[in-house]
Amino acid sequence: MKDVAARAGVGLKTVSRVVNGEAGVTPDTEQRVREAILALGFRRNDSARILRKGRTSSIGLVLEDLADPFYAPLSRAVEEVARAHGTLLINGSSAEEPAREQELVLAFCARRVDGLVIIPASDDHRYLEPEIAAGIATVFVDRPAGRIDVDTVLSDSHGGARDGVAHLIAQGHRRIGFVGDHPQIHTAAERLRGYRTAMTEASLPVHGSWVSMGSTDPERVRTAIGAMLDGPEPVTALFAGNNRVTVTAVRMLRERARSAPVALVGFDDFELADLLSPGITVVAQDPAELGRTAAETLFRRLEGVHDAPKRVELPTRLIVRGSGEVPPA
């Protein structure tokens, strides 16, 4: 910029004016500055601008896995909102590791992002308190924050799971298995709770062997489902706690196609669910809407809205496609 000013024979401030399209420069001066910019290949250094202005016009998004088909649309929705606000998106995957979540969040804060959208992997976010106090707006999405009070956008995991399991009960099922993610994950715990609610509301007992929580690794899920199907009180229907479990369940039921058919309802919709035979009945969330709502909440804060932190819960939707309407054997 100094070089441009020297070459154009003007002051620094005049170059700044031209670069930022501010008024108060004669066409003639502006022309000289523009020529110097072109000749020198000058591009404004936003790092310096940011340092001086205080706002970075960037936000950070921490999620579990960018490549997960559930989070990809969420992430894209956040990006679109950010773009509409002239803001850049920095993101990172926590890989479900609390230490990595914290590392990413603090790295973003050190870059002085204006705000954060977080899908947490940990359950204690007090480490964020100084950052929030320092003015970094923060919204949690998909899962709530632990031990701090911040804006949160969730899906109704409890209600969705209850609806899905009630649907199986309505088809006549009495012995229903639940396979979920690690119980520390809020959504997993809530869905299990929804399952129990539905069973209780129908006065059905829940056999201990019908519930399995843990890694969504296919091997573990297979073992769990195998035990439910071949155990002493074999289930006639399965409720899968998320998309990864559902896919493994579909594979497994396919392989056992010769045995008595087992009904299946999964939490989370996924592409091609309608093309399988039977189509997979699911409790669908709207990940893009989660992302959009979270990002809009964030920007409302950045625009200076200062009421108490809010918790938004988005409804789920049961999509009937066939797999959940298989009657009990």
Partner DNA sequence: CTGAAAGCGCTTACAG
**Residue with tokens 């069973």, as numbered in its chain:** 199
* CA dihedral (110, 98, 222, 242) positive or negative: negative
The CA-atom distances, in angstroms, between 216 and each of 109, 127, 169, 185 are 31, 28, 25, 12
Which residue, 26 or 203, has its beta carbon nearer to DNA? Answer: 26
Are the CB atoms for 153 and 312 separated by under 8 Å? yes
Site for DNA in 8-27 (CB under 7 A): 9-14, 16-17, 19-20, 23-26
Taking the least distance from each CB to a second copy, the nearer of 24 and 52 is 52
Least distance from DNA to the Cβ atom of residue 134, Å: 11
Residues 293, 258: Cα–Cα separation, whole Å: 45
Q: How far is the CB of 39 from DNA (least distance, A)?
A: 15
Least CB distance from residue 169 to a second copy, whole Å?
27
Helices (H) and strands (E) in the chain, counts: 12, 12
Q: Cα separation of 72 and 92, whole Å?
A: 12
Closest CA to 226 of 182, 264, 270, 179: 179
Minimum distance, C-beta of residue 203 to a second copy, in the bound complex (Å) = 36
Contact with a second copy (CB under 8 A) among 48, 99, 260, 305? 48
Q: Rule CB under 8 A: is residue 132 a binding residue for a second copy?
A: no
28 binds DNA (CB under 7 A): yes
Cβ atoms 36, 4 nearer than 8 A? yes
The nearer residue to DNA, 28 or 271, going by C-beta atoms, is 28
**19 touches which of a second copy, DNA, none (CB within 5 to 8 A by kind)?**
DNA
Within positions 62 to 121, which residues make up the interface with a second copy, using CB under 8 A? 65-69, 72-73, 75-76, 79, 83, 88-93, 106-112
Give the interface with DNA as residue ranges (CB under 7 A): 1-2, 9-14, 16-17, 19-20, 23-26, 28-30, 42-45, 48-49, 51-53
